[in-house]
Homo-oligomer: A and B are copies of this chain.
Amino acid sequence: MCGGDAAIVMTENSDDGPRTIQSVEKACAIIRALRELDGAGITELATHLDMSKGSVHTYLTTLKRNDLVTESGGRYQLGLSFLDFGEYVKRQNLVYQSAQDSLDEMATETGELARLVMREGAHGIYLAKAEGENAIETTVRPGQREYLHCTSQGKAILAHLPTSEVRRLIAEHGLPERTANTITEADELFDELEEIRSHGIAFSRSELTRGLRCVAAPIYGTDGTPIAAIGICGPTSRMQGDRFREEYPKIVRDKANVIEINMQMATKRHAETS
């Protein structure tokens, strides 16, 4: 036998779940690092990620060949291809396609800011907005992620997910605190979700930004689970009384419904052509 007894070595992915390609994980780590560092050199990345210089170099060459990173003068940065993919992902998204018109209408009818957020796991991802005449300016950027439990739109989604699913998300991600108003206790969250269900609408209470108030409603996918949410956001001063309690909730619910119908029609159309 060549080599004598085979030493039983600790191969395999330790144990953390299903098999993964470690090279791809490393490539993803490099991409994330390039973002965090706003671009970097090879040595910098190597120390940051605890890899050998040679190895980092090979990875970067590969990513560069695939246009995911660019290099100039020894400095590597994320490439503009991401912009291309990002636009693609957005436009190909069914909710985005179906919501565009309704968002615009919401904005012009209310004069405020209308927003679309989509769920991905425990996060809500801000997809699109439409600005009314008096719309506030926000620093939120498309693609930005935020935990569902700390935005009104996120809570609108959570409220209509199965309780077991919500518990799973809490167990997995906890309830990270974002501002002093963030709900950090599970019981408190469930009370709030209960209230949202009874109203059919989620209100925010300045959880992320002081003085900002939102009215949000969920959008259901074809499978009956909430997959997104739309909302109207404005300053507390204008988001009050009847408008805040009756008018805007009605608008938001109506538009959410229109969007759902648009989505259903689009899926039907798609099924027919294939």
Contact = CB atoms under 8 A, between A and B. Distances in A.
Interface of A: 2-3, 18-21, 23-25, 27-28, 31, 35, 38, 58-59, 61-63, 65-68, 70, 77-93, 118, 120, 125, 127, 141-145
Nearest to A65: B20
27 contacts: A2-B3, A19-B58, A20-B61, A20-B65, A21-B27, A23-B23, A24-B62, A25-B66, A35-B85, A35-B88, A70-B120, A79-B89, A80-B120, A80-B127, A80-B143, A82-B89, A83-B86, A83-B87, A83-B142, A84-B125, A84-B142, A84-B143, A84-B145, A86-B86, A86-B89, A87-B142, A88-B143
Nearest to A227: B72
Contacts of A82: 82, 85-86, 88-89, 143
Contacts of A63: 24, 28
A201 B220 CA distance: 52
Given A20-B62, A24-B59, A66-B28, A78 B83 contact: no
Contact of A21 (B58, B80, B86, B93): B58
Contacts of A91: 141
| Copies of chain A in the complex | 2
A83 B27 contact: no
Contacts of A145: 84
Nearest to A32: B66
Contacts of A66: 24-25, 28
Which of A23, A68, A82, A85 lies at the interface centre, i.e. has the most chain B CB atoms within 10 A of its CB? Answer: A85
A121 to B, nearest CB: 8
A166 B86 CA distance: 30
A61 B21 CA distance: 9
Contacts of A27: 21, 24, 27
A202 to B, nearest CB: 21
A68 B24 CA distance: 11
Contact of A81 (B38, B58, B67, B143): B143
Nearest to A85: B82
A67 B86 CA distance: 13
Which of A35, A67, A77, A88 lies at the interface centre, i.e. has the most chain B CB atoms within 10 A of its CB? Answer: A88
A129 B86 CA distance: 17
Nearest to A86: B86
A238 to B, nearest CB: 27
Given A19-B61, A23-B24, 13 more contacts: A24-B62, A24-B63, A28-B62, A28-B63, A28-B66, A28-B68, A35-B88, A78-B89, A80-B143, A82-B143, A83-B89, A87-B141, A87-B142
